[in-house]
Amino acid sequence: MTTRHASCTCGQLTAQVSGEPLRISICHCLNCQRRSGGPFAQQARFLREQVRIEGHSTEFVLAGDSGARARFHFCPQCGATVWYEPEALPDFIMIPVGAFADPGFPAPTVSVYEERMHGWVAPPAGAQRIQ
């Protein structure tokens, strides 16, 4: 079984996951752009029981473009988001793919809120594309 490790920049807050993600997506909504500091945010979805969190986090609740809220957990020392919990999906934990710092991490299979996508962004070929 695959085990992956995600962490904040300073290493104080970590997540260890067992098994493959159930979904890897990129989100182009404006809140994800602001939160991530990039033109989109990429996240991997895991069942809650696949994830072991260690360290201390500060929580920030944010509503996305759909109005659905999520609880983002970030390191109080370095500020990096390591995981979040979408309120509409209580059985799942999402982890920003960048927190894994793994260039070999699988590509996203879903691209959402494409009406907000920057014109130069090209989602991976074959990804499910949702406006």
Is the pTM above the cut of 0.85?
yes
Q: What is the pLDDT of residues 46-105, one digit of tens each?
A: 999 999 999 999 999 988 777 889 999 999 999 999 999 999 999 999 999 999 999 999
Compute the distance between CA of residue 59 and CA of residue 48 in angstroms, rounded to an integer.
17
Q: What total of structural domains would you count in the chain?
A: 1
Distance from C-alpha of 100 to C-alpha of 44, rounded to nearest angstrom: 10
Q: Residues 53, 113: contact at Cβ < 8 Å?
A: no
Amino acid letter for position 90: P
Give the position of tokens 């260690």. Answer: 54
CATH number of the CATH domain containing 70: 3.90.1590.10
User: What percent of the chain is modeled with pLDDT above 70?
Assistant: 100
Q: Domain limits at 34?
A: 3-129
Residues 57 and 15: their CA atoms lie apart, in Å, by: 11
